[in-house]
Structure 1
Amino acid sequence: MDAPEAAAGLHAHCERCVKLSRCAQAAPVGGPRCELVDCPVGCGHRLHRCKLAEHRLLCPEEQVPCINAEYGCAAVLARRLRAAHLTDCPASVVLCMAEWNRWPLLAPGRPRTLYAFQCAQPLRRDEFAHHYRRVHGDVHGGAGAWLERRCPLAQYGCPHVADRLYPDRPQQRFVVSPVTGCVGVTVAGSADAPPDLGLLTTLPFEVLEHIAALLDPFSLNHLSLTCRLLRDVCASLVESRGLVMLMWSPIRVDGRVTWRSVAKSWRFSGAFEPVRTLGFRDGRHVADHMRHCAHFDRLDRTSRRELSRLRCALLMEGRCELAGLPAPFTKRE
């Protein structure tokens, strides 16, 4: 063997051998050879023993860490599964950059940042498509006015809201979480009812893990706030159902400020269970509410004091003809 071959640990024959079926029957050519072995991890490849080290660099069944290992993912899996793993990798985080304007009629002539909102919600890659479709496509898009109908006098303080569309089942409704500020789905009436944890907390920890594994990240966020036991249950699922992000801190090196990752933050995203259909809810129309709306009462302004205030307001606006006074002199040519 020459120097490069000796350094690599390969026999001269083994380095050039490509047809193993003939190699097993013929005499060694170009020098000694080692025995033929099967891949120890079961990929089905057969090779000379001296090539095992370099084969493991390409073997599809070799157990390797995730591509995002340095970003916090602790998964170890076969090399052939790494591409498919990226869709639900907890470190493959997508930051939603969708923007919407809450008051489009007030935006002209004013700073854009006053009325434009950005989602900026971190999501796992497998949660992003449904999040964008339902939250930004339906709720913030064309279906926003169909999900709920507010009283026309809401600007005067009327709190009446009527749900018009429901997600999947009539018992469900869209809500905005006061904890995370995210849109989610809940069962009607469950958000207002006090939780009864007596029976739930008596179950074995493994049973609680199985129940919690059926919940979406939006529900796991709120379940973790109920008690310490259920918070531990949610913590045991955060690596499989949550996401991980690096925490950065500024440091000074050689007189220059740079950033360094100091910790890994595990959390659940605000994504909710995929909604497949939207249905119309049976209920009374908003027009029926207007009959007894407290903010729709007519005010008869007949007292002299109220009429005087109205006249003064009209005068200040320059509407003298409505105030019963002659208009100031104007000349037209």
Structure 2
Amino acid sequence: MSHRSRGSRVRQHLHCDSCYSRRCRARVEPSASCALLPCRLLCGAVFHLCKEEEHLLLCPNVRVPCLNAQYGCPVQLPRSSRAAHLQVCPASVVCCSMEWNRWPSNIACSQPHTELLENLLRERERFGCLDLAMGLQDQDALFHSIKMKKLFPELIQTAEEEAKEEQKLEEEMRKEKEKKKQALMEKEAAERAAAKEAKDKIWEAVNMINVNFPDEKQDEDEEEYEENQPMLSQAEREAIARASEVDAGLLENYNAWERMFSMEMGGCRESEGTAAPGRGQARGKGRGKSLGSLKEEEKEATCDGAAASTSSACSSSLTGKPKKKSFVYGKLEPMKIITVRTFKIPTSFTARQGRIRNPGFYKRENKAVDTSDLGVAPGDMPVWEEVQASLLCSLERERRGHLIAESTSSDSLLMDEGTQTYSFLSAPFRRDTSLADLTAGKPLELHLQLQVESVTSRHNKASSAFTFLCGHTFQRTEYGKHFKNIHSDIQMCVNGWFEQRCPLAYMGCTYSQRRFRPSTYEATVNFNEELGCFGLHPSTPFSQPAGGGHAEGGEDRLSSLPYEVLCHMASFLDSQSLSQLALVSRLMRQVCSSLLQDRGMVTLRWERTSSSHGRAKWRVTHRVWQFSSLFSPVDAWSFRDVPSISEHLKVCPYNEVESKTEKIRLPLVREEIKPKKSCKGPTLVTLFQEKRIMM
């Protein structure tokens, strides 16, 4: 029996309720007090026996679940260690909230540098530039977030159009299935013809055997021959073939074709038996329908000559539906409805001043205008490009893609009904179409600038820039290292400092060099597009062992090591390397799974469900264990041993040196001395007035 259950059975005493002394000398009495008892978990506390259950609620040595147990942490630890465990708790997850801004690549206040972007996209697999990889990652996230329904609602397909499109797709799929079915039937017919031809050859070979068959007449028809010919069983035919020493391969082919033919004949008989009664029923139904239609026409003809009330009764009797009740009003007359307006505009009302015009002082008139007033043919109207128009509408935060003739009130008296519309080649769009869906089949382009600007959340951002969020999750102890290495060292210094480009990059030169490396070992920084984060790639040369690095059983030499050794080796890897190592094989996945509670993190996966009352609620479906994207932290960076950028300028194809051989006249400054007319000293104004520039 546990000490908790034993202490709960002891009732409270009057003396013990107010006694807190560790050296209590009270006599043990059943109704007054009980004996002193030290803590069984050796925490050092001394208390009366009846307070043992209360002490377990505060004892620091009692093993309790983690404070984040409801968020997925499975650890149970002493109560005194819970605060320290929160620093390394796998459920204590921090989401990075770092934000940065990017401007479009073709805004009016900057140089587009289209040559550089085109060359970078053409050679991105060879160079692997960090700024280009980051820009493409941000552009992909931006295009997935832009929904065409919010920007251009008038260009979205209606439910009827979507239904027609789905029917069209289903019709195309049905036609394809029919074509495949027809091709399959033709193939089966060709196979049957080939089988029949092979069967005829086999029968000819069998008939050539000298066997005593019943007498046959060669001049009879084929149908009479089949009726008069006695049917032989399969065993008899095989016995005859073996007795006449027929080739074994020929006999095997004959048996196979005979089985196929017997199955087809059985299916034909079955289909003929089921189709015969069906034809009779179909004919009977057809006759019944024709007679019924004649009777209905006669009855309708009789109903047409009757009154309106009797016609409704006649039609209901024909169709078999219940007769609708007709309500007949007596001498009722329509009432005149009078609308009373209880609100009148006061005479002292004046319209508020507009930003552009004051409607109170100008004459107002209704005028309908559209694109035909521009004098341009509909075929010559400009067609917008989806990406540029979507980015423009998103940046300006204006819903230029209004519904046509949507009412917009500028003040209490004026109503504008004309709005800006767009024309796209890919319109109309589906309801769930995003900008990424429209650019999926097009060549890859970068519509954002390579430069990144960091702006805090408290800063008033410009409305012409897109804001991006990091959003990666880390353990509480990993967040500081991530922010320092990724955002402070690499991302904010990647333009011109961490990654240095040629000064003639604006002309299209794609040369760049990475100037820094970790100070303790040799490694290069790369960008993982699948994870969307930076990583370190060791540049130490790797020597391939003899035999290709594989053991005799076909597995690599690393997998042949003991499981304990693999776990010890994996404990030295960073979180990003562990997440990639888990994808190598099942064995490595098990090795990495053993380190999840110490090095990984756990999050809850929520799913939206509907209750019995129709209300939406969220519930936890399962827990997700994963490693973060943090690489080995770098405390200090050092310069790499790479040549200066000036060495590249000597061989840069865009560096065209222009030598000047003609003489150029320089300006000459001649000082004119004028007599002093006063005793006052020279001033700055008089000093400049006395100088003349001579050319």
TM-score range, shorter chain: 0.7 to 0.9
Gaps of 5+ in 2: 1-7, 110-391, 397-462, 551-555, 657-695
Gaps of 5+ in 1: 1-5, 299-333
Equivalent in the alignment of 2:567 = 209
Which residue, 515, 529, 536 being the options, matches 1:185? Answer: 536
2:18 is aligned with what amino acid? Answer: R
Counting aligned pairs with the same residue, the percent is 38
Equivalent in the alignment of 2:19 = 17
How far apart, CA to CA, are the structure 1 residues paired with 2:540 and 2:32? 80
1:218 is aligned with what amino acid? Answer: Q
* Partner SS for 1:250: strand
* Partner SS for 1:175: strand
2:636 is aligned with what amino acid? Answer: T
Deviation digits for residues 296-328 of structure 1 (CA, Å, limit 9, x no counterpart): 376xxxxxxxxxxxxxxxxxxxxxxxxxxxxxx
Equivalent in the alignment of 1:88 = 88
State the Cα distance separating 1:213 from its structure 2 match. Answer: 1.0
Structure with more strand by fraction: 1
State the Cα distance separating 1:132 from its structure 2 match. Answer: 1.3
The answer to whether the 8 A contact 1:13-1:28 is kept is no
Shift of the 64–156 alpha-carbon distance from structure 1 to 2, 3 Å rule, reads farther
Query: Map of 1:142-157 to 2, 5 A cutoff?
Result: 142=493, 145-152=496-503
The answer to whether the 8 A contact 2:507-2:654 is kept is no
Deviation digits for residues 66-86 of structure 1 (CA, Å, limit 9, x no counterpart): 011011100111111111111
2:635 is aligned with what amino acid? Answer: R
How far apart, CA to CA, are the structure 2 residues paired with 1:17 and 1:255? 57
The answer to whether the 8 A contact 1:167-1:174 is kept is no
Shift of the 154–181 alpha-carbon distance from structure 1 to 2, 3 Å rule, reads farther
State the Cα distance separating 1:46 from its structure 2 match. Answer: 1.2
Which residue, 600, 603, 628 being the options, matches 1:245? Answer: 603
Which residue, 226, 230, 234 being the options, matches 2:588? Answer: 230
State the Cα distance separating 1:243 from its structure 2 match. Answer: 0.5
Structural RMSD (CA): 3.1
Aligned residues: 289
Shift of the 48–282 alpha-carbon distance from structure 1 to 2, 3 Å rule, reads same
Deviation digits for residues 105-128 of structure 1 (CA, Å, limit 9, x no counterpart): 878884669742210001111111
Which residue, 483, 487, 491 being the options, matches 1:136? Answer: 487
Equivalent in the alignment of 2:188 = none
State the Cα distance separating 1:277 from its structure 2 match. Answer: 0.8
State the Cα distance separating 1:247 from its structure 2 match. Answer: 0.4
Deviation digits for residues 137-183 of structure 1 (CA, Å, limit 9, x no counterpart): 22222465322223445577755431211123351222222331211
Structure with more helix by fraction: 2
Equivalent in the alignment of 1:46 = 46
Equivalent in the alignment of 2:614 = 255
2:592 is aligned with what amino acid? Answer: C
Equivalent in the alignment of 2:558 = 200
Shift of the 7–63 alpha-carbon distance from structure 1 to 2, 3 Å rule, reads closer
The answer to whether the 8 A contact 1:147-1:166 is kept is no
How far apart, CA to CA, are the structure 1 residues paired with 2:582 and 2:41? 40
How far apart, CA to CA, are the structure 1 residues paired with 2:61 and 2:106? 59
State the Cα distance separating 1:260 from its structure 2 match. Answer: 1.2
Deviation digits for residues 29-77 of structure 1 (CA, Å, limit 9, x no counterpart): 8943222222111211111122111111111111000011011100111
Equivalent in the alignment of 1:281 = 640
How far apart, CA to CA, are the structure 2 residues paired with 1:138 and 1:8? 64
TM-score relative to the length of structure 1: 0.77
Shift of the 133–49 alpha-carbon distance from structure 1 to 2, 3 Å rule, reads same
Shift of the 183–63 alpha-carbon distance from structure 1 to 2, 3 Å rule, reads same
Equivalent in the alignment of 1:169 = 520
1:46 is aligned with what amino acid? Answer: V
Shift of the 123–47 alpha-carbon distance from structure 1 to 2, 3 Å rule, reads same
Equivalent in the alignment of 2:322 = none
More off after superposition, 220-229 vs 165-174? 165-174
* Partner SS for 1:18: coil
Shift of the 188–152 alpha-carbon distance from structure 1 to 2, 3 Å rule, reads farther
* Partner SS for 2:641: coil
* Partner SS for 1:20: coil
* Partner SS for 2:481: helix
Rg: which structure is higher?
A: 2
Shift of the 11–166 alpha-carbon distance from structure 1 to 2, 3 Å rule, reads same
* Partner SS for 2:496: helix
How far apart, CA to CA, are the structure 1 residues paired with 2:635 and 2:104? 29
Query: Map of 1:274-313 to 2, 5 A cutoff?
Result: 274-293=633-652, 296=654
Equivalent in the alignment of 1:37 = 37
* Partner SS for 1:209: helix
Query: Map of 1:58-97 to 2, 5 A cutoff?
Result: 58-97=58-97
State the Cα distance separating 1:218 from its structure 2 match. Answer: 1.1
Which contiguous aligned blocks of 4+ residues in structure 1 show a shift greater than 6 angstroms? 104-109
Equivalent in the alignment of 1:307 = none
State the Cα distance separating 1:7 from its structure 2 match. Answer: 9.0
Shift of the 190–77 alpha-carbon distance from structure 1 to 2, 3 Å rule, reads farther
TM-score relative to the length of structure 2: 0.38
